[in-house]
Amino acid sequence: MQTAKSQTFKDKTSKVMGINKEDALLTKSYIFVAFMALLLGGILGLVQGLNRAGLLELPSWVNYYQVLTAHGLILVVVLTAFFTIGYFYAGLSHTLGGLLPIVRKMAWIGFGLKIVGFVLAVIPIIMGDASVMYTFYPPMAAAPMFYIGLALIVVGVWMCAFGAFINVANWRKNHKGQHVPILAFFATGVFVLLFFGSLPVAIEVIVMIIPWSFGWVKTINVMVARTLFWAFGHTLVNIWYLTAVSAWYVIVPKIIGGKRWSDTLTRVVIIALVIMNITGGFHHQIVDPGISPSVKFMHVFMSLAIGFPSLMTAWAMFAIFERTARKQGGKGLIGWYKKMPWKDVRFLAPMIAMIAFIPAGAGGIAQSTNQLDQVVHNTMWIVGHFHLTLGMSVVMTFFGISYWLVPYISKRVLTPQINKLGVIQTWIWTVGMIFMSGSMHWVGLLGSPRRTSFTTYGDNATALSWSPYLMFLAVGGTLLIIGVILQVYAVINMMFFAPKGETEFPIAEVEENAAKTPYWTERWGLWIVIMLLVVAMAYVIPLTEFIVNAPPGSPPFKTW
């Protein structure tokens, strides 16, 4: 552990010299894996989209559900986990004056565990033994190796989470009474959620599924497994979202030449999201049996409560935009928006991501309402929803981050050409996602089911009426793969070929006359206990019911 003195010296050097080599290599490796996953997952997505539209017949040795599982796992787990960890570790390194050697080691061990886990999970998918889709709901059962791989990925993530906690705790010891820098505060929130959110899924996989898939126990309690999965699944969704939000609050204001609006509000939003998040899993189970209507009704409140910090975020972001634009001479009720740097990809991509979150969030609120969800729950609408949230709000923010983060860690610069390419990529991605996600939403309303490969149900008239929308889906998917290729090209260029130079890590300052942030925001121990209490309250009713009044349980099924 460093002393306070050397820490401040390190602070200064890292501000002047940029990121140190070892920390840069760590983030570079994480980001490289993330974008390779994007390429691979994107290609699989295209194959799947074309097949789903009835345009492409898959060869006999590939199954639609196999592609679906791989596409989901690679993008939902690998891309997001590697990007989030790479980005926040660069943020910790920058704002806390470098990573501690032990923390760096933990992050590398985590990296190795996740890669090994990923390979172990992918082998059975390729062999056709794990086409269980990324939610791996029992009683569908994959080969045990698939679950062992997933468990290793979770352990790898835990290594990174504890690494982050150690680094933050060390910084706090050396900076008594100070607030943790805002990006590190976001990182703390995200890693708290990553750890506590992945506990339920670890219990599901290690205690329930692995013994069952080996055949050591004969049956599994399906409802308990699903509930534990969604306690994790929903948290994971919000981890991506919180990662994107960190860039909106901290990075975007700097890029547009403004200041951060309210430090207290930002920290309260993070704490609120951390406390209320895990219980949101229930709105994914709104049509599941075994949970009484009154409990589901109560959970609507919990889900809508999570929407509240998002509304605070929307408000804060527009406040920042308008204040900055007006300072730069923007006029009129909405005319100020012209002053925003629309030609800068570092702004454009996250801005479109934020705008996309307006319909995405509204759709989410519709889905957490029981009656509305019953119309769309098992349809393509849901697929459209998470392509709008993850594929636009989150991933476009990640893309926007890459245009300064990759040059920063590679000690290179963002050239005007790559910026232009980025702008073109952003628009292609936007149009592609509007087509794809839009048609998914619409065809879902018309009844087209999700988790189902292409079929016309014996040329049934209703099923045939879906085809034009599915064609739009294929068009959107094709545009998106062009977007993926441009994006991966840009990342590789910025990582290895762009001209050498210094790129700034853009962190916005707080406004000059800002009120002091109260110190209670730093009491993470207390927030975690409250979070656990909320989780305990929320889960005790259905879990007791599922376990005490359990059905006989289900043997494993291979449905493909």
Under the binding rule (CB under 8 A), the answer on residue 332 touching other proteins is no
3 near other proteins, judged by CB under 8 A: no
CA pseudo-torsion sign 226, 445, 51, 38: negative
Instruction: Decide whether 60 or 549 has the Cβ nearer to other proteins.
Output: 549
Among residues 164, 171, 202, which one has the least CA distance to residue 186?
Answer: 164
Residue 549 in the binding site for other proteins (CB under 8 A): yes
Q: Tokens at residue 469, please?
A: 């929308």
- Cα gap 95→86, rounded to integer Å: 14
Mark the segment that binds other proteins (CB under 8 A) among 92-100, 128-136, 335-343, 518-526.
Answer: 518-526
C-beta closer to other proteins: residue 34 or 180: 180
Question: Based on CB atoms, which residue is closest to other proteins, 204 or 522?
Answer: 522
CA distances from 301 to 295, 308, 357, 370 (A): 10, 11, 20, 12
Q: Least distance (Å) from other proteins to the CB of residue 270? A: 18
**DSSP character for 180?**
P
Binding mask 167-206 for other proteins (x = CB under 8 A): --x--xx--xx-----------------------------
Q: What is the DSSP letter of 333?
A: S
544 counts as binding other proteins under rule CB under 8 A: yes
| Cα–Cα distance, 165 to 357 (Å, whole number) | 30
* Residues 13-32 close enough to bind other proteins by CB under 8 A: none
If the CB atoms of residues 175 and 323 are measured against other proteins, the closer one turns out to be 175
Measured distance CA(25)–CA(250) in Å, rounded: 23
Looking at the Cβ atoms of 288 and 545, the one nearer to other proteins is: 545
Q: Is 338 in the site for other proteins (CB under 8 A)?
A: no
Residue 218 main-chain phi, psi, to 5 deg: -80, -35
Please list every residue from 524 through 543 that binds other proteins, using CB under 8 A. 525-526, 529, 532-533, 536-537, 540-541, 543
- DSSP alpha helix (H) spans, 277-292: none
SS3 content of the chain, % helix, strand, coil (to 5): 75, 0, 25
Q: Minimum Å distance from CB 548 to other proteins? A: 6
Cα distance between residue 107 and residue 87, in whole Å: 12
Give min distance, CB of 207 to other proteins, in A. 17
CA distances from 254 to 98, 110, 136, 141 (A): 22, 31, 41, 48
Structure tokens, 81:
């986990």
Least separation in angstroms between residue 217's CB and other proteins is: 23
Shortest distance (Å) from residue 199 CB to other proteins: 13
Nearest to 243 by CA among 521, 437, 34: 34
The nearest distance, CB 294 to other proteins, in angstroms, is 6
For other proteins (CB under 8 A), the number of binding residues is 26
Length of the chain: 560
Among 9, 318, 496, 519, contact with other proteins (rule: CB under 8 A): 519
Least distance to other proteins, CB of residue 536, Å = 4
Query: Closest approach of Cβ 540 to other proteins, in Å?
Result: 5
Q: Shortest approach of other proteins to residue 519 CB, angstroms?
A: 7
The residue among 292 and 465 lying less far from other proteins, judged by its C-beta, is: 292
Return d(Cα 11, Cα 362) in angstroms, integer.
Answer: 42
Query: Within positions 240 to 299, which residues make up the interface with other proteins, using CB under 8 A?
Result: 292, 294-295, 297-298
> 525: exposed, middle or buried (C-beta count within 10 Å: 0-12, 13-18, 19+)?
exposed
Torsion of CA 483, 489, 492, 495, to 10 degrees: -80
Single out the residue of 63, 369, 545, 553 in contact with other proteins (rule: CB under 8 A).
545
Of the pair 289, 416, the CB lying nearest other proteins is at 289
What's the gap between Cα 331 and its chain centre?
A: 36
Determine the Cα–Cα distance for residues 517 and 522; give it in Å rounded to an integer.
10
Among 16, 333, 461, 548, indicate the residue that binds other proteins (CB under 8 A).
548
Least distance from C-beta 168 to other proteins, angstroms? Answer: 10
380 C-beta neighbours (distance < 10 Å), count: 29
**Nearest-angstrom CA–CA distance, 448 and 451:** 10
CB nearer other proteins, residue 103 or residue 145: 103
Residues lying near other proteins in the complex (CB under 8 A) are found at 169, 172-173, 176-177, 292, 294-295, 297-298, 519, 522, 525-526, 529, 532-533, 536-537, 540-541, 543-545, 548-549
